[in-house]
Structure 1
Amino acid sequence: MVVIFLTSVVVTLTSVWDSGQLYVYVIKMGGWKLEIGKMAMYVSFPVILFYFFNQPKYFEDWVVRMRRELYPPLDKMHKQEIEECIRRIHERKEKELFKDLEEEEEREMHKKL
């Protein structure tokens, strides 16, 4: 049996020896209807999946659930600690900037003298 592929249509050549004679049978599988059906499935399958999984309800539920899993809500005490830490960092930076500014003013004063 020999199988020949011609542009996605499968043709099978079957040869049979009978009483010293060779008989060749050509069996065509598929056809243009099968090709149209396959193409329709290839195109419609991703479109249907996109439509189903891109529904706002499912998307919003999934996003909210994943956000809560990855970033659980903080309690008030923890939030206050974070704000206090941020405040201290800002105060330290302001002190450093103020100190640098005073040093710069002193240098300017010494240059003028």
Structure 2
Amino acid sequence: MGVKIEVFRMMLYLSFPVTMFWISNQAEYFEEYIVKRKREIFPPGEELQRRELEAFKERMRARKEQRMLKSLSAESEN
């Protein structure tokens, strides 16, 4: 009887995470919960917010480029 209970426990331990992984990766679940929640938090119709975000990204990219140029020029001087 001991081997049968151990096999059952091992199947239970393995099947639970595999089942949860399979359920959580279903396309319907993803669309229903994740995408809808993201659209609630970040509404797609906010044109002003999108432009501000794009401007912020551009400023960060330019700042990063300036830092890289400074570090390269400092290295070339040495």
Amino acid at match of 1:43: L
- Find the counterpart in structure 2 of residue 6 from structure 1: none
Q: 2:38 aligns with which of 54, 60, 67?
A: 67
Whether 2:24 is the aligned partner of 1:53: answer yes
Q: TM-score, normalised by structure 1?
A: 0.38
Distance 1:35 1:44 in 2: 14
Which structure has the greater CA radius of gyration?
1
Distance 1:47 1:63 in 2: 20
Higher relative contact order (CA 8 A, sep 6+): 1
Q: 1:40 aligns with which of 11, 35, 38?
A: 11
Distance 1:38 1:65 in 2: 37
- Find the counterpart in structure 2 of residue 23 from structure 1: none
Q: TM-score, normalised by structure 2?
A: 0.52
Identity value in percent: 39
Aligned ranges for residues 66-105 of structure 1 at < 5 Å? 66-74=37-45, 79=47, 82=48
* Alpha-carbon offset, residue 63 of structure 1: 2.4
* Alpha-carbon offset, residue 74 of structure 1: 2.8
From the two aligned structures, give the one with the greater helix fraction: 2
From the two aligned structures, give the one with the greater strand fraction: 1
